Amino acid sequence: MISKRIQDAINEQIVHEFFSSYLYLSMSAYFQGMNLPGFAHWMMIQSSEEYSHALKLYNHIIERGGKVELEAIAKPKGDYKSPLDVMKKVLEHEQKITGLIHTLYELASKEKDYPGQIMLQWFVTEQVEEEKSANEVIHLLKQIGDAPAGLIMLDRQLGARKSG
């Protein structure tokens, strides 16, 4: 049985994961409006992944006999200065999520919640990949600068991303 303290903390993280999905969906819409379908596709996959992260946490609570309590999701920002601005916001957001996952893992450790620690280890590893992916796109956008041809090539590259 999951403790009330862990259950409440995971319920809070579910909200953060659903917000991440919603945020990336809004970023996808931003890129669609800029006629950058590859960036939009990349963000749509991000949105889908974040949604699945929320469900992973949701299922963990259910499997351990707990109660899922869904809260309201805040409205994400929808306007950005540039693709680079968007990707910097993605990195900042992922760094925030990493901190929240680490705090949750620390709580699971203090509570001696071994099943929770095992499940959260997956998230710790996933956050390393999330930050790495955002950083890679940021570095490429910085290299491209104001070159439209470079942006088009990167858009095509991001459009080839497979989900999973």
Q: What are the extents of the domains in the chain?
A: 4-159
Residue type, 133: S
pTM here?
0.95
Q: What integer pLDDT is reported at residue 164 of this predicted model?
A: 66
Tell me which DSSP letter residue 75 carries.
P
Neighbour count for residue 87 (Cβ, 10 Å): 25
* 4-159 CATH pick, 1.10.8.50, 1.20.1530.20, 1.20.1260.10, 1.10.10.60: 1.20.1260.10
Q: What is the pLDDT, as a whole number, of residue 157?
A: 95
How much is the pLDDT for 163?
A: 79
What pLDDT score was predicted for residue 123?
A: 98
CB 111 within 8 A of CB 3: yes
Q: Which residues of the chain have pLDDT under 50?
A: none
